[in-house]
Chain A
Amino acid sequence: MRLIREFEEHCLEKALAGTIVGGIHPYIGQEAVAVGVSAHLRADDVITSTHRGHGHVLAKGADPKRALAELYGASTGLNRGRGGSMHAADVGLGIYGANGIVGAGAPIAVGAAWAARRAGHDDRVAVAFFGDGALSQGVVLEAFNMAALWSLPVLFVCENNGYATSLPVDRGLAGDPVRRAAGFGLTAAAVDGMDVEAVAEAAGQAVAACRTGAGPHFLECATYRFHGHHTVEHLMGTKYRDDDEVAGARARDPLTRQRARLAPEAADEVDAEIAALIAEAEAFASSSPGSDPRDALDYLYAGTVPARPGA
């Protein structure tokens, strides 16, 4: 959690300064979800992620140096500077990418789980992370149906941070997420997404059940993002949450809560380790070469197609 928090604070600063172009969707406040779930995942398990993907990508094991380099558009980045914040991926680690379309990763995760079963990897799990807004996307509900029909090992993790961009969840979502998922035949539960141990406990049970063939699970994690939907909100002064509400959530900061459970020396040790990692990532990313504009369309196809120039 500390790594995600520090990485994101660093990115926030760099996005507001313009070093990171396109801005970011900060995950700050939601770290317990990515960490609690990923604690139970192996390198060969698959995840699909959201716009707000840094936390998932780091928790699944991506190299923070290359993750930061990606945000700097460097050729050393996870995606060689072609994906940036919204598409960060490390396919070798089962990270099938953050995604710029809400809910789009859910059926991709179902496909990965289906493929794993076809290939005989019955205990491989796919996790689809998405926000509360994605529960209004038909494709997510279609994915629930298919995973349940075929009893696939998929864990659907809904990070309910209360807002779909600026739309409060009670103005965008009819009914209750857990009951909705249960209606499709998923084993569904809700958990305090601001408590990493609570998430880890619930996710651990769900992942273990998935691995043993119990079919898809759904976990609603009640969480909160401390910052805006996107860094543009800072620049535009957009405000749709009152200060008391944000302060109330900050009082439940998952990092503070977890720190209280650790010996102070151990927590300090983690802090020091993470500070060094972030400094190392910054040094790596800021000294990495960019890409040659003549190579802008490299990787468009795996097979050869000579693209004609536009001008």
Chain B
Amino acid sequence: MPSLSYVAAVNRALRDEMARDERVCVLGEDVSQGITGLTKGLADVYGTGRVVDMPLSEQAFTSLATGAAIAGQRPVVEFQIPSLLYLVFEQIANQAHKFSLMTGGQASVPVTYLFPGSGSRSGMAGQHSDHPYSLLAHVGVKTAVPATPSDAYGLLLSAIREPDPVAVFAPTLLMGASEEIDDGDLAAVPLGSARVCREGTDVTVVAVGHLVPIALQVAAALAGEASIEVIDPRTVYPVDWETLGKSITRTGRLVVIDDSNRMCGFGSEIAATAVEEFGLTVPPMRLSRPDGAVIPYALNLDHALLPDAGGLVGAIRAVLR
């Protein structure tokens, strides 16, 4: 079976949607060259009128996309590093996201924000290592963190077709990942639909992005000890509460592992809702970065702050005790 890489899947989704819908265009820095790999070759096919290199003006081109979307285009904006979200938070949270409600539904803003290389990049230090998807979930911007190439393809397709703004975070540690899949099997993945990656009966592990394969490895390694269900929410907003709720209610135990900072992070929300609504038999556990973490340069310090397999094993054992 042919192999599809994560980067190729994103590229394929952009290519397919641009072929399907003339209104889809790609805006961002270095996109005609495809420096991140995601947009490579698109300018050769669709021209630099649709794959548009932007000046280093993130705030202006984020809102340019808003104006273009209101006027009928379907822009995909690529940001070279996830920390640029802090620079354009006004344009996404305060302008694009609020436009539909503030105008009483006169128009929506169908822009897709693409954040490749999100999370620690090993040695890229404080300003290139954040994984800020929880911020957008908090604001209410639809936000996907695909964990596999086929999900990257399918979620990006849905994001582009969605009438509202949607952010898609591509985790650094997955950019090199591959999956055995036929191109013909690629399909849109609805926003707000979780994937049960492994079925189990003793504990539910909810994992996001690059932590999904780690959770699956841990579940396999502990198979003799416990039956672990692994769920990938795929979109951190909206959350598929139905799928999560069924699993957590059945197992009665929950561990959430995500690469947010702990305070007000995605894991906090899953844990709180589980406590309120899903009948846990023991308190939930969260694995995340520390409160307010800034990733240091030295690799051992960088890795020390990230949730990992060892921590997950400990948390699973703790809720099983």
Chain A residues with a Cβ under 8 A of chain B: 46, 48, 77-83, 87, 89-92, 96-97, 99, 101, 104, 106-116, 118-119, 126, 138-139, 142-143, 145-146, 149, 297-303, 305-307
Contact assessment for A300 and B100 in the assembled complex, using a CB-CB cutoff below 8 Å: yes
When distances are taken between beta carbons in the complex, the residues of chain A under 8 Å from B191 are: 303
Q: Could you name 14 residue pairs across A and B whose Cβ atoms are closer than 8 Å?
A: A82-B102, A96-B67, A101-B95, A107-B61, A107-B62, A111-B63, A112-B71, A118-B68, A142-B60, A297-B101, A299-B100, A299-B105, A303-B164, A305-B238
> Which residues 41-83 of B have a CB within 8 angstroms of A?
49-50, 54-55, 57, 59-73
| Bound form: Cα–Cα A25–B67 in Å | 24
Question: B17 at the A/B interface (Cβ < 8 Å)?
Answer: no
9 nearest interchain CB pairs? A111-B67, A80-B104, A142-B60, A299-B105, A302-B108, A302-B163, A115-B71, A107-B63, A108-B67
Contact assessment for A97 and B102 in the assembled complex, using a CB-CB cutoff below 8 Å: yes
Report the count of interface residues on B (CB-CB < 8 A): 44
Contact assessment for B67 and A145 in the assembled complex, using a CB-CB cutoff below 8 Å: no
Give a binary string over B161-186; 1 marks a CB under 8 Å from any A CB, 0 the rest: 01110000000000000000000000
Chain B residue with the shortest CB-CB distance to A104: B95
When distances are taken between beta carbons in the complex, the residues of chain B under 8 Å from A126 are: 67
Q: How far is the CB of B274 from chain A (nearest CB, A)?
A: 14
Contact assessment for A298 and B105 in the assembled complex, using a CB-CB cutoff below 8 Å: yes
Chain A residue with the shortest CB-CB distance to B59: A139
Q: How far is the CB of B198 from chain A (nearest CB, A)?
A: 27
Contact assessment for A87 and B103 in the assembled complex, using a CB-CB cutoff below 8 Å: yes
When distances are taken between beta carbons in the complex, the residues of chain B under 8 Å from A83 are: 102-104
Choose one: A89, A97, A110; the contact of B60 (CB below 8 Å). Answer: A110
| Bound form: Cα–Cα A168–B259 in Å | 47
When distances are taken between beta carbons in the complex, the residues of chain B under 8 Å from A96 are: 67, 70
Chain B residue with the shortest CB-CB distance to A149: B55
Contact assessment for A107 and B64 in the assembled complex, using a CB-CB cutoff below 8 Å: yes
Q: How far is the CB of B77 from chain A (nearest CB, A)?
A: 11
Question: B245 at the A/B interface (Cβ < 8 Å)?
Answer: no
When distances are taken between beta carbons in the complex, the residues of chain A under 8 Å from B104 are: 77-83, 299
Chain B residue with the shortest CB-CB distance to A90: B106
Contact assessment for B106 and A91 in the assembled complex, using a CB-CB cutoff below 8 Å: yes
| Bound form: Cα–Cα A138–B191 in Å | 34
Question: B99 at the A/B interface (Cβ < 8 Å)?
Answer: yes
Given contacts A142-B59, A145-B57, A146-B57, contact A114 B67 (CB under 8 A): yes
Q: How far is the CB of A146 from chain B (nearest CB, A)?
A: 6
When distances are taken between beta carbons in the complex, the residues of chain B under 8 Å from A145 are: 55, 57, 60
